C-alpha cells in the first residue's frame, strides 16, 4: 500500500511510537523558528534546560511581531533574543527583515524536512513540501535541545484540486472555500494534503497562502508536493541545491477526500468574527468600507503585492478609506522598490508600513469605531484588531485592492480585465539582516542582555491529590487564544512578564477575571467546543497558571492549546456528556478527588458539583508521556526528572 506525502515525511522522522492513526508519535525536528512575541519565553525555557548549542540543522529567531516600540520593553526583548541566538547557535533575523513565515519560506525552508515554530502559522512551510507545524514555545525549546516533538499520528485528508483559477480569483479564495466547507474545527487531528492536476497551476507563494491559513481549520498542518514549481522557486531564491522532488505514492490511501474545482471558485470573504463565516463577495453586496489592510504572513509575497500595485496603478484610494500595506519581507520590499511598484502604491495613497505583522496582531492601524475593515490576513477574531466593535472581513489581495479604490465591498470581476504582471526569474538575494550565531569557541564570551521587563516564567507544582475549586469563569464555544490572552499594542510588550500580562487574561470576555481568580486562589474554567483555537501562544496557558487555574473543563480543545496546557500541568478535561455543560454555572464549587491515582491508572474521572449537588464524568486522554507530564506539573519538571 502506498504512502501519502505526510506519511513519507513522518516515516523518515519518527523516533518514538508507531504510525498508527490516533496514537502519539515523536518526531525528529530538523528546523525550528521562533518569533519575538513567543520567543522570549521559549528562550528562557531553553536556557532553563541547560543546553549550550541547538542540536537542529537550522534554528532561526525572528523579530516581527512586537516592532512597535512605544516603550523600552519590546526593544529590550529584541536585544535579549538576539544575544541568546548568538550564544546558542541560532540565526537571528533582525527587526525589519520581515515576517517569520515569509522569510523562512524564501530563505530557509527545505522540502521533506520537519519544522516546528512557536507560531501557529508555521504550516506556511507546507507550501514547499515541508512538514511544518505550530507548537508551544516549550516544545520548540525542547526540539532545539534535540528532543522529539510529539503529535497525534494524524489522519490525512486528500484535497484534490482540479481546473485552474479564473482571473481575479486567487489562493486566498481557495482556502476560504476549504474553511467554508470544513469550518474552524474541521481539520483537528488531520493533515490537509493538496494533490491533483490543479496543484501545478499554483505558484509557491500561492500554495503557502493556502497552507498558512490551514491553521484556521485547526489542522495539524497542510502540505503541497515538491515539484517543478518548487524547484523554480528555490532556483529563483538561489537555493536549487535544497530541492528534492516529493509527492504521495499513486496508490496512497487517504482518510478523507475533498474535491475542489478551481475554475468554479469566485471571490470570497470571511465575515466577522470567524475565518469560517464565509460568503461570496457578491452576496455581501456594495457595503461601504472604512479601511483596507494588505499584508500579513498569508498574503504579503512579491506576487501578491505586485498584483496589488498593478491594480492600483494610476488610481487613488477612496477618500473615505484608509489603505495600509506591509510587505512580508525585506526581499519583497526591496523588489517592489526596484520594480517601481512601491512608487505606484505610494502614488495611489497607500500608507506603507514596515515589513512585520503590524495590524494583523493589533500592532497599530486599529479601525475606527464599528469600522468595516477588509484585510488580506488570516484571523478576524473579535477584538483582535484593537477595536472591540471593529468588523473585520478576510479577503484576497485582489478584492482588497479594488475595494480600497471603490470605497465599497467590490467583486473584482466586475471591474474589467485583470492587469498583467510578471514574476522574476531571480529574486533579489541579500541576507544581510540575518545575523549568524557565534562560533562554538566564541559563544561562551557572548553576554545575554536581559532587560527589566523579562521576568521568570511560572513553573507548576506536581499535580495535587484532589482539586477543589470554584468555576471562576464559564465561556462558550470556539474561545480563541485572543480571548484568553489578548495581544495588541498595549498587551504584547508584556509577553516576557507573566505577572503583568496575566492582568489582561480573558479581558475580551470578562475584565474582572484576573482579580476574581487571584482572590479565589485556585480556579476551574468551563468552556464549549474548540476551546483555545487560534494562536500557539503559550501565554494562554502561562497566565491562567499564574492566576491559579488548575483545570479547564470543556466540550473539546484545539490541538496546540491543549498541548500547552499539558506542558504546563493544567488539566485539560472534556465532558463525556456534553449536556453537563449546561448544568454548571459560574461560581459553582467543583471537587475532583483522587485525580493523581485516576490519571496514573486511566480511571474514570468524576467531578462533583457541590453547589448543585450532582456529579458528572469527564475524560482526559493522555499518552504515557502526557501522564508523566501531568503528574510532574508540566514538561519542564518532567524533563528534569526523566533526563
Binding status of residue 361 toward ligand SF4 by CB under 6 A: yes
Nearer to ligand SF4, 211 or 296 (CB): 296
Q: How far is the CB of 500 from ligand SF4 (least distance, A)?
A: 21
Decide: is 121 part of the binding site for ligand MIC (CB under 6 A): yes
Footprint (CB under 6 A) of ligand SF4, residues 362-401: 378
Q: According to the binding rule CB under 6 A, does residue 118 interact with ligand SF4?
A: no
535 is catalytic: yes
The window from 310-318, 343-351, 356-364, 587-595 that contacts ligand SF4 (CB under 6 A) reads 356-364
Buried (b) or exposed (e) across 277-301, using 16+ Cβ within 10 A? bbebbbebeeeebbbbbbbbbbbbb
Of 221, 237, 298, 535, which one interacts with ligand MIC (CB under 6 A)? 535
Among 24, 73, 77, 119, binds ligand MIC (CB under 6 A): 119
Partner whose footprint covers residue 523, from ligand MIC, ligand SF4, none (CB < 5 to 8 Å by kind): none
Among the listed residues 119, 139, 304, 411, the single catalytic one is 119
Q: Cell numbers for 467, please give them.
A: 482539586
- Give which of ligand SF4, ligand MIC, none residue 78 binds (C-beta under 5 to 8 Å, depending on kind): none
Active site residue 173: no
What are the backbone dihedrals phi and psi of residue 584, each rounded to the nearest 5 degrees, phi first?
-100, 140
Calculate the CA 113 to chain-centre distance: 19
Binding at 636: pick from ligand MIC, ligand SF4, none (beta carbon under 5-8 Å per type)? none
38 binds, among ligand SF4, ligand MIC, none (CB under 5 to 8 A by kind): ligand MIC
> Is residue 482 part of the contact set for ligand SF4 (CB under 6 A)?
no
Supply the DSSP string of 397-418, one letter for each residue: HHHHHHHHHHSB---GGGG-PP
H helix count then E strand count, the chain: 23, 27
Q: Does 297 sit near ligand SF4 (CB under 6 A)? A: yes
- Considering the rule CB under 6 A, would residue 361 count as an interface residue with ligand MIC? yes
Residue closer to ligand SF4 (CB basis): 360 or 529: 360
Cα 153 from Cα 212, distance rounded (Å): 20
Residue 22, number of CB atoms within 10 A of its CB: 10
Please report whether residue 184 would count as binding ligand SF4 according to CB under 6 A. Answer: no
Residue 357 found at the interface with ligand SF4 (CB under 6 A): yes
Q: Which residues pair with 270 in a beta bridge?
A: 278, 394
Quote the least distance from Cβ 563 to ligand MIC, whole Å: 13
Pairing of strands 14-16, 24-27: antiparallel
Site string for ligand SF4, 85-114 (x = CB under 6 A): --------------x---------------
Can you list the positions of beta strands (E) in 285-436? Answer: 291-294, 322-326, 351-353, 372-375, 391-394, 434-435
Q: Which of 64, 241, 47 is nearest to 144 (CA)?
A: 47
107 given a catalytic annotation: no
User: Is 179 one of the binding residues for ligand SF4 (CB under 6 A)?
Assistant: no
Query: In the complex with ligand MIC, which residue's Cβ is closer, 40 or 639?
Result: 40
- And the C-alpha cell for 388? 472591540
CB of 458 to ligand MIC, least distance (A): 18
Selected binder of ligand MIC within 37, 132, 159, 219 (CB under 6 A): 37
Give, as one character, the DSSP assignment of residue 461.
Answer: P
Considering only residues 446 to 475 of the shown chain, the ones binding ligand SF4 according to CB under 6 A are: none
Contacts of ligand MIC in 572-611 (CB under 6 A): none
Residue 451's Cβ-count burial label (10 Å; 0-12, 13-18, 19+) is: middle
Nearest approach in angstroms of CB 296 to ligand SF4 is 4
Query: Quick one: 112 or 532, whose CB is closer to ligand MIC?
Result: 532
3-state secondary structure at position 527: coil
Decide whether 120 or 303 has the Cβ nearer to ligand MIC. 120
Distances in whole angstroms, Cα of residue 135 to Cα of each of 30, 94, 116 = 14, 22, 6
Position 121 contacts ligand SF4 (CB under 6 A): yes
In the chain, the N- to C-terminal Cα span, in Å, equals: 38
64: annotated active-site residue? yes
| Candidate ranges 118-126, 190-198, 410-418, 618-626; the one touching ligand MIC (CB under 6 A) | 118-126
- Return the closest-CA partner of residue 491 out of 475, 514, 473: 514
| Catalytic site residue from 78, 306, 379, 559 | 379
Q: Does 536 bind ligand MIC (CB under 6 A)?
A: yes
Please say whether the beta carbons of 37 and 361 come within 8 A.
yes
Question: Catalytic annotation on 119?
Answer: yes
> Does residue 537 belong to the site contacting ligand MIC (CB under 6 A)?
yes
Q: Cell for 499? A: 505577572
Backbone region of residue 606 per phi and psi (left: phi > 0; alpha: psi in -120 to 50; beta: other values): beta
Stretch that binds ligand MIC, among 76-84, 140-148, 531-539, 620-628 (CB under 6 A): 531-539
One character per residue 33-72, x = contact with ligand SF4 (rule: CB under 6 A): --------------------------------x-------
Around Cβ 581, how many Cβ atoms within 10 Å? 19
- Indicate the helix (H) or strand (E) that contains 49: helix 36-49
Cβ within 8 Å of residue 416, ≥6 positions away: none
With residues binned 3-state (H G I as helix, E B as strand, rest as coil), the percentages for the chain, rounded to 5, are: 35, 20, 45
Vertex 532: Cα angle to 599 and 530 (nearest 5): 85
Q: Which residue's CB is nearer to ligand SF4, number 152 or number 396?
A: 396
Sheet of 114-117: strand order equals 131-134, 114-117, 31-34, 58-62, 91-93, 434-435
Note whether 120 binds ligand MIC by CB under 6 A: yes
Measured from the CB atom, is 360 or 494 closer to ligand SF4?
A: 360
What's CA 349's distance to the chain center, in Å? 31
Examine the residue annotation and report whether 65 is marked as an active-site residue of this protein: yes
Minimal distance in Å, beta carbon 378 to ligand SF4? 5
Nearer to ligand SF4, 184 or 592 (CB): 184
Q: How far is CA 36 from CA 60, 75, 356, 383, in A?
A: 11, 10, 11, 21
* Nearest residue (CB) to ligand MIC, 41 versus 75: 41
Minimum separation from the CB atom of position 374 to ligand SF4 (A): 16
Binding flags for ligand MIC, 56-85, as an x/- string (CB under 6 A): ---------x--------------------
Q: Which of residues 375-414 bind ligand MIC (CB under 6 A)?
A: 379
> DSSP state, 367?
P
137 near 45, Cβ under 8 Å? yes
Task: Tell me which residues are annotated as active site.
Answer: 64-65, 119, 379, 535, 537
Q: Which residues bind ligand SF4 (CB under 6 A)?
A: 65, 99, 119, 121, 296-297, 357, 360-361, 378
Residues that bind ligand MIC (CB under 6 A): 37-38, 65, 119-121, 134, 361, 379, 487, 534-537
Amino acid at each position: 500500500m502506498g504512502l501519502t506525502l505526510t506519511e513519507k515525511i513522518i516515516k523518515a522522522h519518527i523516533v518514538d511510537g508507531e504510525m498508527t492513526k490516533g496514537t502519539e508519535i515523536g518526531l525528529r525536528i530538523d528546523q525550528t523558528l521562533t518569533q519575538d512575541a513567543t520567543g522570549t519565553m521559549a528562550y528562557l525555557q531553553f536556557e532553563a534546560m541547560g543546553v549550550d548549542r541547538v542540536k537542529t540543522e537550522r534554528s532561526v529567531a525572528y523579530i516581527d511581531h512586537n516592532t512597535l516600540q512605544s516603550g523600552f520593553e519590546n526593544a529590550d526583548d529584541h536585544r535579549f533574543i538576539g544575544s541568546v541566538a548568538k550564544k546558542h547557535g541560532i540565526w537571528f533575523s533582525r527587526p525589519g527583515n520581515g515576517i517569520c513565515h515569509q522569510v523562512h519560506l524564501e530563505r530557509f525552508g527545505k522540502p521533506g524536512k520537519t519544522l516546528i515554530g512557536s507560531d501557529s502559522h508555521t504550516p506556511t512551510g507546507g507550501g514547499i513540501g515541508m512538514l511544518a507545524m505550530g507548537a508551544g514555545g516549550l516544545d520548540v525549546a525542547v526540539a532545539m535541545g534535540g528532543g522529539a516533538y510529539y503529535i497525534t499520528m494524524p489522519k490525512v485528508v486528500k484535497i484534490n484540486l482540479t481546473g485552474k483559477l479564473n482571473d481575479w480569483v486567487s489562493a486566498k479564495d481557495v482556502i476560504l472555500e476549504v474553511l467554508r466547507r470544513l469550518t474552524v474545527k474541521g481539520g483537528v487531528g488531520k493533515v490537509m494534503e493538496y494533490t491533483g492536476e490543479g496543484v501545478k497551476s499554483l505558484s509557491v507563494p500561492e500554495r503557502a497562502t493556502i497552507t498558512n491559513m490551514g491553521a484556521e481549520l485547526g489542522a495539524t498542518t497542510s502540505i503541497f508536493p515538491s515539484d517543478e514549481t518548487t524547484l523554480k522557486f528555490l532556483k529563483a531564491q538561489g537555493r536549487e541545491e535544497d530541492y528534492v522532488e516529493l509527492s504521495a505514492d499513486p496508490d496512497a490511501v487517504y482518510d478523507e477526500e475533498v474535491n475542489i474545482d478551481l475554475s468554479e471558485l469566485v471571490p470570497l470573504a470571511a465575515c466577522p468574527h470567524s475565518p469560517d463565516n464565509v460568503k461570496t463577495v457578491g452576496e455581501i453586496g456594495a457595503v461601504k468600507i472604512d479601511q483596507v489592510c494588505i499584508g500579513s504572513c498569508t498574503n504579503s509575497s512579491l506576487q501578491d503585492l505586485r498584483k496589488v500595485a498593478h491594480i492600483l496603478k494610476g488610481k487613488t484610494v477612496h477618500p473615505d478609506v484608509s489603505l495600509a500595506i506591509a510587505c512580508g519581507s525585506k526581499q519583497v520590499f526591496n523588489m517592489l522598490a526596484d520594480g517601481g511598484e512601491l512608487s505606484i502604491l505610494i502614488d495611489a495613497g497607500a500608507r506603507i508600513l514596515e515589513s512585520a505583522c503590524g495590524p494583523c496582531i493589533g500592532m497599530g492601524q486599529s479601525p475606527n469605531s464599528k469600522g468595516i475593515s477588509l484585510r488580506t490576513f488570516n484571523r478576524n477574531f473579535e477584538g483582535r484588531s484593537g477595536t472591540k466593535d471593529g468588523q473585520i472581513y478576510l479577503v484576497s489581495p485582489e478584492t482588497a485592492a479594488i475595494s480600497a479604490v471603490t470605497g465599497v465591498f467590490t467583486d473584482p470581476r466586475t471591474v474589467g480585465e485583470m492587469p498583467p504582471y510578471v514574476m522574476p526569474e531571480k529574486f533579489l538575494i541579500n541576507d544581510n539582516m540575518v545575523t549568524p550565531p557565534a562560533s562554538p569557541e566564541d559563544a561562551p564570551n557572548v553576554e545575554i542582555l536581559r532587560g527589566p521587563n523579562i521576568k521568570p516564567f511560572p513553573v507548576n507544582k506536581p499535580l495535587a491529590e484532589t482539586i477543589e475549586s470554584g468555576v471562576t469563569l464559564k465561556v462558550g464555544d470556539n474561545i480563541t487564544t485572543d480571548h484568553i490572552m489578548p495581544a495588541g499594542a498595549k498587551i504584547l510588550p508584556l509577553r516576557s512578564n507573566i505577572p503583568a500580562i496575566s492582568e489582561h487574561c480573558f479581558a475580551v470576555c470578562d475584565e474582572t477575571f484576573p482579580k476574581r481568580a487571584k482572590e479565589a486562589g485556585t480556579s476551574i474554567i468551563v468552556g464549549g467546543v474548540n476551546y483555545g483555537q487560534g494562536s500557539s501562544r503559550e501565554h494562554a496557558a502561562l497566565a491562567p497558571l499564574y492566576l491559579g487555574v488548575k483545570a479547564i473543563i470543556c466540550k473539546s480543545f484545539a490541538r496546540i492549546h491543549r498541548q500547552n496546557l499539558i506542558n504546563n500541568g493544567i488539566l485539560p478535561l472534556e465532558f463525556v456528556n456534553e449536556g453537563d455543560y449546561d448544568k454548571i454555572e459560574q461560581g459553582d464549587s467543583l471537587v475532583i478527588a483522587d485525580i493523581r491515582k485516576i490519571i496514573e491508572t486511566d480511571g474514570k474521572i468524576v467531578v462533583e458539583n457541590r453547589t448543585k449537588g450532582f456529579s458528572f464524568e469527564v475524560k482526559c486522554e493522555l499518552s504515557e508521556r502526557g501522564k508523566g507530564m501531568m503528574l510532574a506539573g508540566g514538561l519542564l519538571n518532567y524533563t528534569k526528572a526523566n533526563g
